Structure 1
Amino acid sequence: MRRDPASEVPDFDGLWDRIAADVVSNHRAEATLWNGRIDYLPADREQSVRGQATADGRLLLSRPLVVEPLRRLYAEGPRALSDPKFAQVCWRGIKTAAHEFGHLTAPADWTLADRIRDLDREEQDPAEEGFIEALTQVEMPGLVDRVLPAELAGPLARGVAAGPEPLLPSYPGWTSAVGMFSAELAAEFEELRAIDVLRAGARESASRRPEALARLIIDQTRLPELVQDPRRKAALRTDLGRALADGFASLGDLPTARTAGRQRGQEIAAGAIEKVRTGEQFFAQMADFGGLVFDRGIAPVAGPTQGASGNDQTKPGGRPADRLPRGKDEPGGRG
């Protein structure tokens, strides 16, 4: 897909096409729902919002916060970047476009109708915004090198580094939670990289994200070889996916709280890890007993909920081992 010449926002020598293509590539996405249009945000929102991906596949950008700084950058060249504050404004403008294009990545068979249905799920906002922003933050240095002319890319990076303060991500609480979640999984599973977790969460649509993350986690364990029944495999993914969805939905109250976000991201990862490790142990024991297939009421979907004594397995503080924190009133939540 290429920029529609009828777009309100100028082309800047193919900048938007390059950003769109780079986002699809870096997300490892199959397709984009971008319809080629890039227009301006309404005047009553252009000072408070930098960008938006619309339900009909357009990109809307703020004229004063995104487009005009980039127009000046292309007009004046590297000398404009001698001002670190202006360099940071340009960096944010490019990041805004990349972030919004990220909202439009999709599976090959996805349609705008599918996207509109997903946009109605407010509980998905923390994961949607968090994964896309976290991945965009990581990819920005390379993206800038690839989408800008060499005479602008280097000076822009140096100007940003010389800025008076580091650039913070959008939705810092959600982004911190996702970053910690990804780092914890990478630390637990030797062959899993944090960037792989970010990509899996960023490229998927809201309704498919939880199970995609569940599949990624389960594939790092022995569960695929221990569990042969296709229905039980599907149940494992669904169960873990539901727990992940609930965990990220519980972040809705802290879009800007970075410290609390990191803590909650760590808790979501810990809950997921405990689920699959408990499942591994349970199904390995089944294999040791000759691969007996127990009744569903006895053999839990994702590992045992009771020990040999019949007591619930709990973590310190009394929380069931296979649950994720759902809100600030539960142990480990925000105080």
Structure 2
Amino acid sequence: MDTSGTAHAPESGEPRLTTGALARRLGVSPTTLRSWDRRYGIGPAARTDGRHRRWTADDVAMLETMCRLTASGVPPAEAARAAKERPYLETRRPADAPGPEAGPPPSGDARQEGRGLARAAVRLDAGAVGERLDAAVTSYGVVAAWQEVMVPTLHAVGRRWASSGDRYVEVEHLLSWQVSTTLRRHTRQRPAAPPAAPEGAGPVVLACVPGEQHTLPLEALNAALSHLGVPTRMFGAAVPAEALVAAVRRLGPAAVVLWAQARSTASRPLAEYVAAMEWGVTGARRHPLTMLGGPGWSGRPAQGMLRPAGLADALDTLAAAYGAAPPGAPR
């Protein structure tokens, strides 16, 4: 198998998907696919006229692996490396082969940061935990700090708790609180130069579905969007359905992000109802861009709705919708 990340030339007559068709198949946006190509080299084997992307079966397998890894919490850069090295391993592995849950390890500096953070959390040293989290955000920015330091450390502590009975529950609670505090501290309440909303649309609405208490991923997205100047309204945990609908109706948002950590809370009827809402004058009616975040939506059809593969993916799509500077631009 070629491990260079470049797929073999397709056989003559092999069907190739356009970027739009592949995006619909994977449940992500075309912006996400272009961003992955640009950022991580997850691109098609061939292009027509040297420019237009055409995706082969090998490319699709690689992208499916990328989506599966990022959905399990693997940082996108690491997921891309794994997907390029073994495009079929994750999608066609034997039943007894290791799955993608563990993923490749984070990069050196971030791994060291995570280890120090975990040690401070185990000591219940709130001050040290807060200082390390602040240093990570200052050094790497919100997106990299979340993907390379916060998430791997939260997962490590969670695994330690799961394998130790009732031990380390207090460690996970303290770490989660400190992560939330750090993300809120690094959220800009009034962006200096917000971009013009498309056609006068309102801010991005961020909400957990009814019954869902896990807010940290939305808090990370909220903080990152604030650094891009994209206006948001964060509604937090377990938003009642009628309250969510009322907020969308009042704000007329350009986009709505619905988070569901568990399948038991992911309400497809609610998501479809929000996606179908419209406002504006006759002849110029608008719908919100509806984005379903979290593992609770996995395996469920999302016709007309987007399924971001991670924080960077969601940022790329939402920034493009607002015409904001792309993630990775100077803050």
* Shorter-normalised TM range: under 0.3
Q: Which has the higher helix share?
A: 1
Larger radius of gyration: 1
TM-score of the pair, normalised by structure 2: 0.25
Q: Which has the higher strand share?
A: 2
TM-score relative to the length of structure 1: 0.25
